Amino acid sequence: MCGLAAVYAYGAQSPPVRRAEIIAMGESMAARGPDGAGEWLADDGRIGFAHRRLAIIDLSAAAAQPMTHGEGRYRITYNGEIYNFRALRKDLEDDGAVFRTESDTEVILHLYERHGAGLVERLRGMYAFALWDEERRGLLLARDPFGIKPLYYADDGRTIRAASQVKALVAGGGAGTGVDPAGHAGFFLFGYVPEPHTLYEDIRALPAGSTLWVDGGGPQAVRRFFDASQVLADTEASAQRPPLGDLLRDSVDHHLVADVRVGVFLSAGLDSATLTGLAAEHRGGDLDTFTLGFDEFAGTDRDEVSLAEAVAQTYGTRHVTRRVAGGDFASRLDGLLAAMDQPSIDGVNTYFVADAAARSGLKVALSGLGGDELFGGYDSFRQIPALVGALGRVPGAAAAGRVLRPVSAPWLAHMTSPKYAGLLEYGADYGGAYMLRRGLFMPWELPGLLGPDLARAGWEALAPTVRLDATHRAIGEPRRKVAALETVWYMANQLLRDADWAGMAHSLEIRVPLVDAALFRGLAPWIGRPGGPDKQAMARTPDTPLPDAVLDRPKTGFFVPVREWLQGDGNSERGLRGWARRVYRGATGSAVG
């Protein structure tokens, strides 16, 4: 886990790359890599890399980056982990390759030498990298299948810049101009900035599961090599139940590959408890676990501490519980907001539990993120098909809703959730119903938040209903539609991004065994289909059973008492929508309505 930066002056009239820019980009990501820093600038000044290192695999100086191979023909700056690198290395050695390190980074270089950009089809892991091919005078950018690791780029028509963080691109001084209306509108619609947008007009996210080749002719078309929605659309149903335990153990075992200690974020939920059980099997109980509790929830059914500690006792882990109170939130608020690379209404819990893990000396922790998307754990899997099924049969529902909503919205907003005013207008199709379910503010509220011009431009550029429909349109079954929407939107844009910034703020690598392309493909025939494995089936895979109190506990979600913390801080803004305004101000310095 690291931070990368690259600048390539590909245009004939481009000014040379400035070493100061490369250094500034790298230094802005110091928390991502406290174990080392490196940069490289080509003799002709056309290409430069920076890297910040968090040493996880091959801790020696030989594995430092940027790394070179082939007598200088190939160079790479890379962020992530390749979990199958040892198997790939063996195949390469059988084919005559000679290695000088024990790192996964060097494996990527050898794979590129043999397979070019197609190397990504062989990688199992989370990654983003920039790889320079001197002979072809080209730069390859790549991002893992689910976009676990971020990669942003800015192209001004002469020079392309790429980095692990938006803030790194801005820190270099060569990017971060203009306002992207879609990014600003998207934040208030969903509580996160939907990719590929950022808050800046000139900075974009490389899509998950994509590569981008850049040479003297400029950037070529982005190539997708993995699309979760397409996998669900293309996978036929199967009557044979999957070997669920084998699939889960395989993923967990791969995600435990490291030359440092690995821990688990443990809540009372089935996802993290199951991972704890499976990881303990692999490690023979030599495992660290961490639980986050909130003083405001002590003694209530929202307090997860006692059940999590029971799981830790069951599997004999070294367990740490950290309790957080409003005072902790207030004292850390500025640092928390500064750590967000892009504004998000989530990630507070991950920020504090990552801090606890890092203070215990860990560099790597497993998270149960992704289980609800795989196994239909969210109530959206039930609510959205029911809403569409009911309203979809009402002739002219959307048209009637557009007429009634301006009249009903003002008084509904005072009496209950403003979302009810959009039920007829948006609830008759899956894209609109999903926006109602996951939306933070409603479309008609945007002008009051951003002003009419920015709101209008943002809605048109983001085209959320069109993009949401495109996510699920090729999928037939209702619950599979929801699985695609939750995976491509909520998980990718919010949960994974929050895990990245909140972990990296504390120099902690967060791994997500339930977000794994091999696991996803293995389960794809049954995801969202009748008879497929659910959360209970997942939770019964460890050889040593989970405690009954955890297995039988109704799903409640993980709550963070932001409302109470804001009230305790004497702030007039309350609840998630008030928190969104605070986060937006912190990211932009702008007041909102």
In angstroms, rounded to a whole number, what is the distance separating the alpha carbons of residues 331 and 246?
Answer: 45
Buried b (16+ CB within 10 A) or exposed e, 54-82: bbbbbeeeebbbbbbbeeeebbbbbbbbb
Active site residue 23: no
Distance CA 66, CA 26 (A): 12
- Beta-carbon count within 10 A of 84 CB: 16
Q: To 10 degrees, what angle do helices 496-504 and 326-339 make?
A: 100
DSSP SS3 for 267: coil
Q: β-strand 318-324 against 262-265: which pairing, if any? A: unpaired
What span, in angstroms and rounded, lies between the C-alpha atoms of 200 and 347?
22
Adjacent-strand bridge partners of 141:
130, 212
> Which two three-digit tokens encode residue 290?
């961490």
What is the distance, to the nearest Å, from the Cα of residue 253 to the centroid of all Cα atoms in its chain?
21
Terminal CA-CA length for the chain:
39
Q: Which two tokens stand for residue 525?
A: 């025939």
Both structure tokens of 5 = 């930066």
Q: Please count the other Cβ atoms lying within 10 Å of the Cβ belonging to residue 215.
A: 15
Half-sphere exposure of 121 (CA within 13 A, CB side): 8
Instruction: Report in angstroms the alpha-carbon separations of 541 from 68, 247, 270, 283, 307.
Output: 43, 10, 11, 16, 19
Residue 521 exposed, middle or buried by CB count within 10 Å (0-12, 13-18, 19+): middle
CA distance 251 to 225: 20
Q: Which of 2, 56, 126, 166 is catalytic?
A: 2
Structure tokens of 512? Answer: 């997500």
Q: Which residue has the tokens 């007598």?
A: 71
- Token readout for 382 is 């039930």
CB atoms within 10 A of CB 114: 13
- Helix 478-485 / helix 464-472 crossing angle, nearest 10 deg: 130
> Both tokens of residue 34?
């406290």
The three-class DSSP label of residue 294 is strand
Angle at 204 between CA 67 and CA 439, to 5 degrees: 125
215 phi and psi angles, rounded to 5 deg: -135, -160
- For residues 526 and 242, is the Cβ–Cβ distance under 8 A? yes
Closest residue by Cα to residue 575 from 585, 583, 567:
567
Q: How many CB atoms lie within 10 A of CB 43?
A: 5
Exposure of 281 in the CB half-sphere (CA atoms within 13 A): 18
List the catalytic residues: 2
